[in-house]
Amino acid sequence: MLKVLAALLPGIAVYVWFFGAAILVQIALASVAALAGEAAMLKLRDQPVGLFLADGSALVTAWLIALTFPPIAPWWLTVSATLFAIVVAKHLYGGLGQNPFNPAMVAFAVAIVSFPALMSQWPAVGFTDFSAQMAVVFKSQSAQDAVTMATPLDALRTQLHVPEARATVAGVLGAHASFGNIGGKGWEWIALAYLAGGLWLLQQRVIAWQVPAAFLATLALIATGFSLGNPERYAGPLFHLVTGGAMLGAFFILTDPVSGATTPRGKLIFGAGAALLTWIIRSFGAYPDGMAFAVLLMNLCVPLIDMGTQPPVFGRKRKDGAP
Amino acid sequence: MLASLFKFKGGVKPASHKDESTRTPIARAPLPPRLVVPLRQSAGGTPRPLVKAGQRVLKGERIGAPEGNFSSAIHAPTSGSVLALESRTLPHPSALPALCVVIEPDGEERWIERAPLDYAAQAPEALRDLLRDAGVVGLGGATFPSHIKLKPGAAGRIETLIVNGAECEPWITCDDLLMRERADGIVRGAALLRHIVDARRVLVGIEDNKPQAIAAMRAVAQSAGIEVAVLPTRYPAGGEKQLIRALTGIEIPYGRLGTEFGVQCFNVGTAYAAQRAIEHGEPLISRIVTLTGNVARPGNHEVLIGTPIDDLLALAAPKADTDRIILGGPMMGFVLPRTDLPVTKAANCILAASPALFPHPGPELPCIRCGACTRACPAELQPHELYWFARAKNFGKAQEYHIFDCIECGCCAYVCPSNIRLVDYYRFAKTSMRALEREKAASDAARQRFEFRTLRSEREQKEKAERLAAKTAAARQALATGGQPTAPPPGDAAPALPPLDESKKALIAAAIARAQAQKAAVQPKNIDNLAPEKQAEIREIEARRAQVREMAKTPPEEPV
């Protein structure tokens, strides 16, 4: 778990570079809330507190929540979502190893359904002043238009969905101030930093290659197919890969062993399914990014996937029983 | 010359710790004051005891005769007198007792008359019987009777014979030392086994961490037409199925013998024992045991079967901080409940453990399904799934996920980041399932007995009714034909008919009275007026009681 945290550091560093230090405050808030919630639940459940706090799993959940929430989300939103993740999504299901859903994604889903406006309050490019950010986070100062901005995914969703606007992908993104080279301005670099961290995790054999490979390949494949067929309506593969939660999801969220598939073929199906759902929700859904819902829906399918993809055991590879 | 190698999946690379016990040659353990020889030391039936308390035995004399074909003989390890034939605790995790022959050695080591044979002149069938009667069983740990493994299988003949010198488990070096010092005997034994099964090719598999053993074996193997294959060191390369896979590419599934696939595997110690049995006429009465771990004098000893482990520990001198004694290696061995237990044919290593040498694993943490166990599993199972099923006592599902294919090598537990003693869970599930199976078999047998009894009583009643009906019909017919019964001669039967009728009536009246009296006597039994389903239930209970009485009469089955 500590290696997972370490692998997130480059992404966090780039995040701070582009969007200021608010994210560090969010990470701290989520970490404290997660550790407190975990300790309280362990105590209630009569489990050894120190032993389980040391495993780092609550911290991973906390960091993922902070990194998927807007960095200028109000403090209480981050804290309550984190507590929901730890108390409900994790401990009420039986604690570490027993939760069928990824706790961080449960928190994200609950927050975006309950507070859609606050969850789409992303900082504008250049809004990096720390005290101004803190004012938004702690004083519930309603964020002004000057400091927030729709993400490219959000812009695409709102504008492409209005038929009379006759908007095109290139038109929307080209006109949008938050668009960088291939994805959101700044976000594309953060995504690349996550990719670097994820590759390091692969090299360290902390995560299996099947899930990120299947996810990224499927997402790229579907996006390529549709954007070639109708480039005005569908964004291209590079945009999809570096935008929203795709990279973070591929290497850090989908790879959660507890809520993911365990067989090699199952992992491929799990990753590919999540990519398909992400793309569908992004392209046709009501929410700008489909990562969280895609992960939760695939979590639901895990028992079925695992059951259906049991690899043959030693000596039983051929059905006729011959060696 | 060198066999091309295949790979088996999974496996781990623990520190081998072989050097400690290979610095000194094999020593002969001194004769202990008492030998406790368990009668059942191999898979299959318990041999029938051939000796009584007080009887004198010679070294190598048969004291247990193979019971049935799937059994192997047991011999006196030395000359002396039989003190007792009694139940003693065996070195088994269950610590259950079993019948043992206790021998007090006389110190003279007087042998039976040994009859060395030239195997080449013998028929395979005769040699197999000789091996069974010499008590030769697999010395790699499973103690499967060798003569069974040497029978030709469905595939016709055994094409490839594999001699297992891999010895992949850490700390154990008994096979290593045997190969270094007695390579000639092993190779002659391998040639003997080859003769029995008429194999085309013999391969000796040795892990590459035993260069001296490889050199010693190569020096004698070539002239005998036997190949020595060097395997990369990776536990459990010496697992029978893994070794067969590595050397031939053939995978033997659970529940099948290699023979069916034209390949068979024997431990180097077994090959050596077979050679001693045939070419020297010496039955299997001793084996090499590694004494190592937290001891002052590690090494290998040639030990008589039945020697108390305490006596061996005295030779090795465990250090003061030794907190447990493991029989076998650290991966597959188990902690001995006591150390006054005898060495059996399965005992390859006695390992003294200390907290410093073998730290107790930390507390068990939850399984996070990380999959490390799956990657390490050489049987290519899903250990984490089996763990969940075993924990939940979901035995049906565990079986569906092939829990019986688990070879209990311990790789999964070795790599588990949550310190879960996975193999313990599998053993629990397997023994529970076997116990359920036995219970089911017993209740099935009881049901069959009950059904048969019901069937029989129904049949008897029907037959009785038929007999009666036939008799009545015959009598009626006799009356119809004018009081002229066919059977008795008409002369003296006809006049006697009327008085017979009178006496018959009296007889019937008496019978009715008797029946009524009997019914009155039986009436207090309060079950007669119950509903039929209730009565059926009572009958079932009676049947179960009868079964319990039956089971109490027969001795309990051996632990598996």
Which residues does chain B have within 8 Å of residue A312's beta carbon, measured at their own beta carbons? Answer: 380
- Written as six digits, the tokens of A257 are 């062993």
- Position B529 confidence tier, pLDDT thresholds 50, 70, 90: low
Residue B453 has pLDDT above 70, yes or no: yes
Rg (CA), chain A: 20
Tell me which residue has tokens 């029995």. Answer: B196
> Are B57 and B164 found together in one domain?
yes
> Are B78 and B188 found together in one domain?
yes
Q: Tell me the DSSP string of B293-343.
A: ESBSS-EEEEEETT-BHHHHHHHH-B-TT--EEEES-TTT-EE-S-S-PBP
> What number of CA atoms fall less than 13 Å from residue B162's CA on the CB side?
30
Please enumerate in sequence order all residues whose Cβ is within 8 A of that of B354, keeping only pairs 6 or more positions apart, or say none. Answer: B293, B294, B319, B321, B322, B323
Closest to A22 in 3D by CA, of A141, A172, A134: A134
Give the single-character DSSP code of A91. I
Residue B199 has pLDDT above 50, yes or no: yes
Which residues does chain B have within 8 Å of residue A57's beta carbon, measured at their own beta carbons? Answer: 368
CB atoms near residue B444 (< 10 Å): 10
Closest residue in B to A98 (Cα) is B368
Q: Tell me the DSSP string of B114-142.
A: -----GGGS-HHHHHHHHHHTT-B-TTTT
**Whole-number Cα distances in Å, B391 to A52, B475, B542:** 21, 73, 36
> Are B311 and B437 found together in one domain?
no
Backbone angles phi, psi at B227, to 5 degrees: -95, 145
Q: Hey, of A3, A4, A314, A318, which one would you mutate to test binding to chain B, going by the most B CBs within 10 A of its CB?
A: A314
- Of B252, B365, B380, which is closest to A311 when you measure between CB atoms? B380
pLDDT tens-digit map of A78-92: 999 999 999 999 999
Output the pTM of the full model.
0.80
Give the single-character DSSP code of A74. -
Q: Which residue segment(s) compose the domain that A67 sits in?
A: 1-141
Chain B nearest C-alpha distance from A263 (Å): 8
- Position B399 confidence tier, pLDDT thresholds 50, 70, 90: very high
B194 contacts B224 by C-beta, under 8 angstroms = no
CA pair distance B246, B443, nearest whole angstrom: 44
Torsion B452-B457-B458-B459 (CA) sign:
positive
- Of B245, B250, B381, which is closest to A313 when you measure between CB atoms? B381
The answer to the question of residue A312 being in a domain is no
Which residues does chain A have within 8 Å of residue B244's beta carbon, measured at their own beta carbons? Answer: none
- Position B503 confidence tier, pLDDT thresholds 50, 70, 90: confident
Which residues does chain B have within 8 Å of residue A258's beta carbon, measured at their own beta carbons? Answer: 368-369
Task: Give the residue with greater pLDDT, B4 vs B10.
Answer: B10
B251 to A317: CB separation less than 8 angstroms, yes or no: yes
The answer to the question of residue B342 being in a domain is no
A96 contacts A60 by C-beta, under 8 angstroms = no
Backbone angles phi, psi at B226, to 5 degrees: -115, 135
The answer to the question of residue B326 being in a domain is no
Torsion A79-A85-A88-A91 (CA) sign:
negative
B380 to A208: CB separation less than 8 angstroms, yes or no: no
Number of domains in chain B: 2
> Are B35 and B129 found together in one domain?
yes
The answer to the question of residue B380 being in a domain is yes
> Are B308 and B366 found together in one domain?
no
> Are B301 and B385 found together in one domain?
no
**Whole-number Cα distances in Å, A310 to A208, A264, B401, B425:** 17, 9, 8, 21
Average of pLDDT values for B12-22?
A: 92
CB atoms near residue B410 (< 10 Å): 23
> Are B215 and B282 found together in one domain?
yes
Helix or strand or coil: residue B364?
coil
Helix or strand or coil: residue B28?
strand
CA pair distance A179, B292, nearest whole angstrom: 69
Burial A220-250 (b: 16+ CB within 10 A, else e): bebbeebbeeeeeebbbbbbbbbbbbbbbbb
Instruction: Tell me the residue type at B27.
Output: A
Residue B526 has pLDDT above 80, yes or no: no
Measured CB to CB, residues of chain B less than 8 Å from chain A are 8-9, 241, 245, 250-254, 256, 261, 363, 365-371, 374, 378-382, 384-385, 401-402, 405
B369 to A208: CB separation less than 8 angstroms, yes or no: no
Please enumerate in sequence order all residues whose Cβ is within 8 A of that of B439, keeping only pairs 6 or more positions apart, or say none. Answer: none
> Are B83 and B185 found together in one domain?
yes
The answer to the question of residue B250 being in a domain is yes
- Of A51, A313, A316, which is closest to B363 when you measure between CB atoms? A51
A263 to B401: CB separation less than 8 angstroms, yes or no: no
Please enumerate in sequence order all residues whose Cβ is within 8 A of that of B278, keeping only pairs 6 or more positions apart, or say none. Answer: B116, B117, B119, B122, B127, B130, B131, B134, B192
The answer to the question of residue B339 being in a domain is no
Q: Which of A136-150, A300-314, B421-435 has the lowest mean pLDDT?
A: A136-150
CA dihedral A11, A15, A18, A20 (to 10 degrees): -150
Q: What angle do CA B183, B135, B272 make, to 5 degrees?
A: 5
Closest to B402 in 3D by CA, of A71, A310, A232, A199: A310
Helix (H) or strand (E) holding B81: strand B80-89
Q: Hey, of B369, B389, B415, which one would you mutate to test binding to chain A, going by the most A CBs within 10 A of its CB?
A: B369
Residue A68 has pLDDT above 90, yes or no: yes
The answer to the question of residue B76 being in a domain is yes
B241 to A314: CB separation less than 8 angstroms, yes or no: yes
Tell me which residue has tokens 């190969």. Answer: B179
The answer to the question of residue B202 being in a domain is yes
Q: pLDDT averaged over chain B?
A: 89
Number of domains in chain A: 1
Closest to B354 in 3D by CA, of B418, B422, B292: B292
- Of A95, A313, A317, which is closest to B405 when you measure between CB atoms? A313
- Written as six digits, the tokens of B530 are 């119950």
Residue B357 has pLDDT above 80, yes or no: yes
A219 contacts A240 by C-beta, under 8 angstroms = yes
Q: Helix count (H) and strand count (E) of chain A?
A: 16, 0
β-partners of residue B301 are B27, B289
B179 contacts B274 by C-beta, under 8 angstroms = no
Q: What is the CATH number of the domain that holds B95?
A: 3.40.50.11540
| Strand ranges across the sheet with B324-327 | B27-28, B299-304, B286-293, B349-353, B324-327, B334-335
Chain A nearest C-alpha distance from B417 (Å): 11
Q: How much is the ipTM here?
A: 0.86
- Written as six digits, the tokens of B47 are 């041999």
The answer to the question of residue A92 being in a domain is yes
Residue B560 has pLDDT above 60, yes or no: no
pLDDT tens-digit map of A37-47: 999 999 999 99
Q: pLDDT averaged over chain A?
A: 89
Backbone angles phi, psi at B477, to 5 degrees: -60, -40
- Written as six digits, the tokens of B356 are 């410093």
The answer to the question of residue B251 being in a domain is yes
A55 to B365: CB separation less than 8 angstroms, yes or no: yes
Q: Helix count (H) and strand count (E) of chain B?
A: 16, 17
B380 to A48: CB separation less than 8 angstroms, yes or no: no
B371 to A262: CB separation less than 8 angstroms, yes or no: yes
Average of pLDDT values for B153-176?
A: 89
Pairing of strands B286-293, B349-353: parallel
- Position B11 confidence tier, pLDDT thresholds 50, 70, 90: very high
- Position B553 confidence tier, pLDDT thresholds 50, 70, 90: low
Q: Which residue segment(s) compose the domain that B390 sits in?
A: 362-461+545-560
CA pair distance B32, B105, nearest whole angstrom: 8
Question: Phi-psi region for residue A186, left (φ > 0), alpha (ψ -120 to 50) or beta?
Answer: left
- Of B8, B367, B402, which is closest to A313 when you measure between CB atoms? B402
Closest residue in B to A258 (Cα) is B368
